[in-house]
Each structure stands twice: as structure tokens, then as C-alpha cells.
Structure 1
Amino acid sequence: MTTHDTDRLSSRDKILRAAMQLFGEGPGARLSVRAVAARAGVSTGSLRYHFPTQRALQDEVLTRVYDLAIPDDRINDRSVPARDRLVDCLRQVLGGAGVGEQARANLLRVVEQFVQPEPDEEIRAAYLAIEREILRRTIYWLTALEKEGALPEGDNARRARFLMAVVDGLGLTRAMPAEQAVLQSEDDTLQMAVDCVLTLPATGSGGSGLRQGAGD
């Protein structure tokens, strides 16, 4: 896109274009108000007018990025009930953990990389980048369901953190010498967690790292 073409964009489109550029430069990038406004060449007041909260901007960017990158994402298949789609998406996250020996090997690798060493800035940044990317993807799934009316309006970052805590626990269980029916038990737990998210509105300001620093 040329400079002339950029000048013809609305302020809102400039903001979204800048935010998507920042997102594309690194999955761990934070979409801070000041950084996006500076990249877009607009005032922070203009950005706040179009996107009153950092979460509103984040949700819109996530929707656009993932819709373009993964147009056939399972969450968009409305022929399947919302509950089943969200459970399947969470299974995708768990799929990388493996089962049994593979799960134990993956867990040991995580411990060696992020737990055993002294948590310096480089290790912390690497871990947080991975965490934010998984969280962003989960927020995208929840936002998609919210937009189609399958999920009550609420704090999707908070919901996502709850679901990620469930997934983390299930991943740990996969590495333990558990009973053979671990996957069936896992499926029941995922369904229960999804049912909780789909039926209860998420409110409150606690527990959302993505909402912190909204004025940065």
C-alpha cells in the first residue's frame, strides 16, 4: 500500500492496520495504546474514540488476523454446536502435550527450559510470549462465539485464563501415571469447563493480564 493509499484510510482503518502490523512482528507483542497510535499516526484520543478499551482493540485485531490466517478454523463452523466447537479447539491446545511417555518428555522439557533455570528476563519474555499467543487464540475463539450470540457478553480474557488453567491441569495429568481412561476423564472435564463459560457471564476486573496497562 502506497503512502497516498494510506492517507485515504479512515482513522479506524489506520489504527487496525497499525495494530495488525505490530501483532505480525511478534506473537508476544503487546498492543499498547501509545505504540499503536504512534504507528498509525493518530492521537491516543482518536484511538480511544474508536476503541474505548485495549480489550476492544485486541478483540478486533484477533478476529481479523485469525479469520485471514485460518479461514476454516473449527470455531467458525456454525453447523456444529458452539459447545462442541469450543471443546474441539481446546483439544487442539492439549494435542501438543501428547500422552504418556510423550507427555512426560514434553513436561520435562518445559521444566528444564522455564522452571529449573533462574527466571531472568530472557526466560520470562520467552515464556510470556508463548502464554500470550495461546491466550490470544483462546480469546479469539470466545470472541467468535460471542459475536454469533452463543456466548453471553463478558470479559473474554478472564474466561480464556480460566480455560487455560483447566487445559494446563489436564496437560499435567497426561504426564502422570494415571489410569488408562485419562482421555475420557479429560473430555468430561473440558465439557464441564466449556459449559461453565457458555452459561455464565464473565464479569469483574481481576485476573486479566491483557487488560492491565491499558493506558500504556
Structure 2
Amino acid sequence: MDERKRQRLSSRDKVLLAAMELFGEGPGSTLSVRAVASRAGVSTGSLRYHFPTQRELQDEVLTRIYDLVAPDDRIHDGSAPARDRLVDCLRQVLAGAGVGSQARVATLTMVEQFIAPEPTEELRTAYLAIEREMRRRVEYWLTVLANEGALPEGDNTRRARFLLTVLNGLGMERALPAEDSILQHENDTLYAAVDHVLTPERPASAREPA
């Protein structure tokens, strides 16, 4: 952003812009108060005034980022089948991971940030904020389809967790060597997962072995 335009921003918007820039440079970033305040050119007190906790800052940043990389417009496109719309939305989330070397860098960053270190409360809070925002986004898509009558009654939180587990696995596969076409396999897997979600759930008694 042009420096003159940046200076005209409110202190809150300067903080958000700085946090989004830092997050973009390292997706696993925990967005420390000092680093964000320094990048924004504001005091830590000013940052805390707008975002009393690190969690509030992280939630706001993630909400804005997902509004950009995974917009809701596609899920509302009634001219397309529900399964295609949901797959497209999930595919947009995966797009942020890249493919090949870019995916490896993203995966290593997540490992270094959230798996290799001891699971401190700060790390746990940062990771859960990311997971919660992703789940919220997927649940929203499912709610839109349910309101249209395109999704049978069921537990959307459980469905969202299932779809996120699929996305996590596909994201990891993007970073690993592959013999076949990664994108073709990914497409087939996404449609299989979405078809499972869109299929009416059987009663628990019907799922139990005789």
C-alpha cells in the first residue's frame, strides 16, 4: 500500500493491515503484539486498546483473510449444483497451500510453529483460533445449503470437522511426492467427501452391526 494512504488509515486499520501482512509472510505466525505494533507503527497500548487480547486480533485477521481467499459469493450461486459450489469453496481454501515446493514450505512452517515446539498455551490459542475460523467458514457454507434444502438435516459441526480433516489430508499430500496427478486425485477426493456430506444420514441404529 502507498505510504501516504497507509498514514491516513485509523490506528485500528493500521494494526489489521500490519497483522495481515505478517500473517501472509508466515501463515503459522502467532501475531505477537510487539511484532504487529512495530509493523503498524503504533504503540502496544494502542494495539491493546483496539484488540485487548491476542485471540481477538487473530480472529479478526483470519476472518478478513478468509473473506478474501474463500469468498461466500460462490456458495450463493443458485445456478450451479450444490455439490459443485461446495467443492469450489473447499478448493479455494486449499489454494492457499500452493503445490509442490510452496506446499512444502507451508507444511514445514506449520510443523515448526505448532508441532515441533512444546504446546504452550499461546501456541494452543493461536492454532485453535485458526481451526475455529476455518470450521466457522465451512459451517456457514453448510448452513446456506441447508437453508436451500440442498443439505439433509444433520449435525453441521460434525460435517464441517469431517471436511476439514479431508482438507488437512489433501494439504499434506500437496507437500509429498506423488506418482499420479495431485490435482485430479484432489478433485476426486473433494467430490467424494462432498457427496458423503450431501447424502442423508442413516439412523444410528441402522449403522450398527447386527
Q: TM over 0.5: same fold?
A: yes
CA change 1:27–1:117 in 2 (3 A) is closer
Structure 1 distance, partners of 2:147, 2:98, is: 32
Q: Which residues of 2 match residues 67-146 of structure 1 at below 5 A?
A: 73-146=73-146
The TM-score, its normalising length taken from structure 2, stands at 0.63
Deviation at 1:196, TM superposition (A): 0.4
Deviation at 1:26, TM superposition (A): 5.3
Structure 2 residues not aligned, in runs of 5+: 1-55, 205-210
**What is the letter of the counterpart of residue 117 of structure 1?**
P
**2:176 aligned residue:** 176
Structure 1 residues not aligned, in runs of 5+: 1-24, 30-61, 205-216
The TM-score, its normalising length taken from structure 1, stands at 0.61
* Deviation sequence 1:55-106 (CA, Å, 0-9, x none): xxxxxxx9xxx8xxx5x62100100100000000000111111100000010
**What is the letter of the counterpart of residue 123 of structure 2?**
I
**Runs in 1 of length 4+ with deviation above 2 angstroms?**
25-29, 200-204
Q: Does structure 2 retain, via aligned residues, the 8 Å contact 1:155–1:203?
A: no
Q: Higher helix share goes to which structure?
A: 2
* Deviation sequence 1:103-157 (CA, Å, 0-9, x none): 0010000000000110000000000000000000000000000000000011100
Q: Does structure 1 retain, via aligned residues, the 8 Å contact 2:58–2:126?
A: no
Q: How many residue pairs end up in the alignment? A: 141
Structure 2 distance, partners of 1:202, 1:73, is: 31
Structure 1 distance, partners of 2:103, 2:83, is: 26
Query: CA-atom RMSD, angstroms?
Result: 2.2
Percent identity, please.
65
Structure 1 distance, partners of 2:160, 2:84, is: 16
